[in-house]
Amino acid sequence: MSEYFQARFTHDPGRVKVWRAIVEDLEARFIPPGAAVLDLGCGYGDFINQVRAGRKLALDLEPQAAGHLAPGVEFRQGQAWDLDYLEPGSLDVIFASNLLEHLERGQVESLLAGARRALKARGRLILIQPNFRLCYRRYFDDYTHQSIFTDESLCGLLLSQGFAIEHRRGGYLPLTIKSRLPKSYWLTRLYLRLGLPIMAQQMLIVAQRS
């Protein structure tokens, strides 16, 4: 992988357990059975490999990401804001985790326009993002962060780009899962089920194409 993956996003097999609980939480509320799902910035495939979907697509700038994807996942190497290759109205869900903060404002707007075009009517855009309002002291510890988002500002941007906000949670997950503590499916599931605010510095925003 690139220098960024080596410095900030090294492979951790234990992360799959955490993501299994996250995927189940999202499936229960926002991802219908048999959906066509695209994972933007798929990385190691922790989300797209585990989601139950009729069609799975993944996009990443790093071509090596393809080697981490499960059989049946359709991979494309490219920029997340260039979604012109997708058929209009072909997707039920577009998912992105820790992506928008790495992009410039114009790139984010291009991504949202492309996502709106690719989603079916009432299709969902699911975003998990660091919430600057809750983690401003550490937000720029990642040297590649370019854009600032809070739950308020991101919802405002989505509304301006033709989306309706279905769900907004300012504190959904801890800022990072890098820890000496063991990665646990059951602890993550309990954390999400109880809605614990402890260390919750990432937001969850679910928007529908309106």
We report the CATH number of the domain holding residue 172 as 3.40.50.150
User: What total number of domains does the chain contain?
Assistant: 1
* pLDDT for the residue 181: 55
> How far is CA 165 from each of CA 35, 71, 174, 196, 203, rounded to the nearest angstrom?
20, 33, 22, 22, 13
Q: How many CA atoms lie within 13 A of 84 on its CB side?
A: 2
**Residue that wins the pLDDT comparison between 4 and 85:** 85
Q: Give buried/exposed letters for 16-32 (b at 16+ CB in 10 A, else e).
A: bbbbbbbbbbbbeebbe
Q: Sorting pLDDT into bands at 50, 70 and 90, what band is 111?
A: very high
| pLDDT of res. 197 | 75
User: 29-39: per-residue pLDDT in tens?
Assistant: 999 999 999 99
**Opening angle at CA 30, ends 69 and 133, nearest 5:** 90
The DSSP element (H or E) to which 184 belongs, if any, is none
Range of the domain at 84: 3-209
> Is pLDDT at 7 greater than 50 in this prediction?
no
Residue 140 has pLDDT above 80, yes or no: yes
Mean pLDDT of 14-23: 93
Confidence of residue 198 (pLDDT cuts 50, 70, 90): confident
Token look-up 């995927």 returns 23
- Segment 120-148 shows an average pLDDT of 95
What's the CA dihedral at 80, 104, 44, 23 to 10 degrees?
-80
- Over residues 75-104, mean pLDDT: 97
Mean pLDDT of 108-130: 98
CA distance 202 to 205: 10
